[in-house]
A and B are shown apart, each in its own frame.
Chain A
Amino acid sequence: MLNAIKDAVRKSSIHVCIVNCGGCNGCDVECVALLSPRYDLEQYGIYVHNNPREADVLLLTGAVTEQWVDNLKRIYDKAPEPKIAVAVGNCPQSGDVFNQEGGHVHAPASDFIPVAAAIPGCPPRPSEILEAILAVGPQAIADRGREQE
């Protein structure tokens, strides 16, 4: 009963924080496009806070640069439970073009924090990002909540 109420509440209020850990900001621009009236993120009960202390979902973009090696874990720890991390774009998954000789990146992001879902693309379309958050968000947050109890 309690779990059912929790699930229902969490499903309709997902708070998102975009964490750019060193990318070209193409994915961040597409996340901003999600706020536009065409996609209107808020009608699905998703709210972009950009504040890790209030976030349920951390949207990771970028290939984890030198500065983010320690900071990524710290930002993740700041978010309250239950929380999930979703990797947007190729960078957090593989480092994309930056992960080769001469680059200063430490991809993948899953080496540092647990990543629940990944959206490939360079950058993925806004509709794909939206679809991914809606598809995995509520269930993953609920599962994570059960684990904590």
Chain B
Amino acid sequence: MIVPIGPIHPALKEPIRLKLQTEGEKVVKAEIEYGYVHRGIEKIIEGKTWQKGIYLSERVCGICSYEHTQTFAETIEQISDVDVPLRAQFLRVITNELDRIQSHLLGNSTFFKSMDHETLFMRVLELREYAMDSIELLTGNRVNMGWNVVGGVRMDADERHFKPILENLEKIEEGFERTRALFAEGPALALRCKGIGYMSKKEAIKGRAVGPIGRASGVKEDYRNGHYTYDDHFDFKVIRRTEGDNYARTLTRFDEIPESISLVRQAIENIPDGEIRTPVDLKSGYAMRKNEAPRGEVTYMIETNGSLIKNISIRTPSIANMDSCAKYMIRDVPTVADAVATYATSDPCVACAERVAITNEAGKTSIKKWDEVR
């Protein structure tokens, strides 16, 4: 029997259709139907200036909107051979990590909601508000920050911003330990999480799972490691686990939060003086950049003719994570309720995933070459 879930369903916060093939209570196969949020952003950006493009790229996804603008800006900077001032790079790290904290907390809260654990759901959302406060204090907005420009960041920050941010981080840390322990050591949740939605390392690589979802299965890629700012000035530990189940995925996201907090502290402590924005002489060319968004690797490929964007292609982590969720994690989940919870642990972000529609004729997937697509 096929059980359809969605597009509007109590457990989902974004429209998507899950088709679960069941045998009795057991789920044997799952399929995801996309297409409810396709807006055609890539096509809209074509032929526009970067000022309009960066505004649109922020609206690819609301939860991890920050990383999209940073990657967009860095790609244009790479085309134009510009070095961003060090102070701007540090400010970018602060916002990036604050965004990661709020995104991970939101991802986990969605999972607890789908498990019907109201206490943890509320606690995690309470902690998240402190991160949102810090973001609003620094950038002026809660969700779509508009913080990055090509060549640096929009505004400068000083002690008046840093001091309340550090206080907010302390408040997050205060409640964090207990919340994490409640999940990691509480018997009620662990019974429903451990061993459910298992994905091995081999499958994670095969399904191209990235970010915390891949790292929970033992994949070690974290694209912050190849980033020039993080490599030269920051110390952090990449969190990895090997269990590959719902428990591991949730705990990976939890454990990345203290690392992010420590990165924000390092940035505030060592922030150098100087310019925050450098004038950019735009050049024509093509560049590709990868960055670590909260959900994994986000890639931007941009081709410009000097002032206008000729072509843009955005690859987001969610499409890979959701596909590997449908293929490997949901397979052999004991109940339909667990299948929904497993889907929530893959931290799906539907708005991210919906930019390209691949036509599938008679069950055959056609892979188009780069030249054909443009």
Which residues on A are within 8 Å of B, measured CB to CB? Answer: 17-30, 32-33, 35-38, 49-52, 62-63, 65-68, 71, 75, 96-98, 100-105, 122-123, 125
Contact B55 A97 (CB under 8 A): yes
Docked complex Cα distance between A25 and B316 (Å): 15
Known contacts A50-B13, A123-B143; can you find 10 more A-B pairs with CB under 8 A? Answer: A17-B8, A21-B36, A66-B35, A67-B35, A67-B36, A68-B15, A75-B8, A97-B44, A105-B40, A125-B142
Query: Which chain B residue lies CB-closest to A53?
Result: B8
CB distance from A110 to the nearest CB of B (A): 19
Instruction: Point out the residues of chain B lying under 8 angstroms from A25, CB to CB.
Output: 13-14, 37, 61-63, 349-351
The residue in chain B whose Cβ has the minimal distance to the Cβ of A68 is B36
Taking CB atoms, residues of chain A closer than 8 Å to B122 are 35-37
Checking B14, B44, B126 against A101 with a beta-carbon cut-off of 8 angstroms, the contacting residue is: B44
Given A65-B36, A67-B36 in contact, is the A28-B62 Cβ separation under 8 Å? yes
- Partner of A37 from B14, B35, B55, B125 at Cβ < 8 Å: B125
Q: How large is the interface on B (under 10, 10 to 19, 20 to 34, 35 or more residues)?
A: 35 or more
B65 touches A26 (CB 8 A): yes
Q: What residue in chain A is nearest B103 (Cβ atoms)?
A: A29
Q: Binary interface profile of B, 56-70, with partner A (CB < 8 Å = 1, else 0)?
A: 100111110100000
List the 6 closest A-B pairs by CB distance, nearest first. Answer: A26-B62, A36-B125, A102-B43, A25-B62, A102-B44, A24-B59
Decide if A97 touches B35 in the complex (CB within 8 Å). no
| A-contacting residues, B24-77, CB 8 Å | 35-41, 43-44, 46, 55-56, 59-63, 65
A-B contact pairs, 9 of them (CB 8 A): A24-B144, A35-B121, A36-B122, A36-B129, A65-B37, A65-B39, A67-B35, A98-B41, A104-B40
Contact of A20 (CB < 8 Å), options: B15, B35, B38: B15
On chain B, the residues within 8 Å of A71 by CB distance are 7
Task: Tell which of B41, B106, B143, B349 has the most Cβ of chain A within 10 Å.
Answer: B143
- Nearest CB of A to B269, in Å: 29
B40 touching A51, Cβ below 8 Å: no
What is the minimal beta-carbon distance from A42 to any residue of chain B, in angstroms?
10
Residues of B near A33 (CB, < 8 A) are 125, 128-129, 132
Beta-carbon contact of B10 and A49 below 8 Å? yes
Report the minimal beta-carbon distance from B174 to chain A, rounded to whole angstroms. 15
B37 and chain A: residue at smallest CB distance: A22
Which secondary structure dominates where chain B touches chain A? loop
In the complex the two chains form, is B39's CB within 8 Å of A104's CB?
Answer: yes
Say yes or no for B178: interface residue by CB 8 A criterion: no
Q: A28-B62, A38-B129 are in contact. Are A18 and B13 (CB under 8 A)?
A: yes
Beta-carbon contact of A24 and B65 below 8 Å: yes
Q: Which residues of B contact A52 (CB under 8 A)?
A: 8
Q: How far is the CB of A17 from chain B (nearest CB, A)?
A: 7
Residue of B nearest to A100 (CB): B44
Is B192 an interface position by the 8 A CB rule?
Answer: no
Contact B126 A37 (CB under 8 A): yes
Q: Is the CB of A36 within 8 A of B55?
A: no
**A97 and B351 contacting across the interface, CB-CB below 8 Å:** no
Q: How far is the CA of A30 from the CA of B125 in the complex (A)?
A: 11
Query: Known interface pairs A36-B126, A38-B126. Does A50 touch B44 (Cβ–Cβ under 8 Å)?
Result: no
- A21–B351 Cα distance when bound, in Å, is 11
Of A26, A75, A104, the residue contacting B144 (CB under 8 A) is A26
CB distance from A80 to the nearest CB of B (A): 15
| Nearest CB on A from B209, distance (A) | 21
Cβ of B46 to closest chain A Cβ, rounded Å: 7
Residues of A within 8 A of B351 (CB): 23-25
User: How many Å from the CB of B42 to the closest CB on chain A?
Assistant: 8
The distance from the CB of A53 to the nearest CB of chain B, in whole angstroms, is: 10
What is the CA–CA distance of A42 and B13 in the complex, to the nearest angstrom? Answer: 18
Residue B9, interface by CB 8 Å: yes
Q: Which residues of B contact A67 (CB under 8 A)?
A: 35-36, 38
Q: Check if B44 sits within 8 Å of A28, measured CB to CB.
A: no
Contacts of A68 in B (CB 8 A): 15, 36
**Cβ-defined partner of A26 (8 Å) among B15, B55, B59:** B59
Q: Which of B115-146 contact A (CB under 8 A)?
A: 121-122, 125-126, 128-129, 132, 142-144
* B63 touches which of A29, A49, A98, A102 (Cβ 8 Å): A29
| CB proximity of A61 to chain B, nearest CB, Å | 9
Q: Which of B46, B109, B144 contacts A102 (CB 8 A)?
A: B46
Alpha-carbon distance A123/B43, docked complex (angstroms): 23
Verify B144–A122 contact, CB threshold 8 A: yes
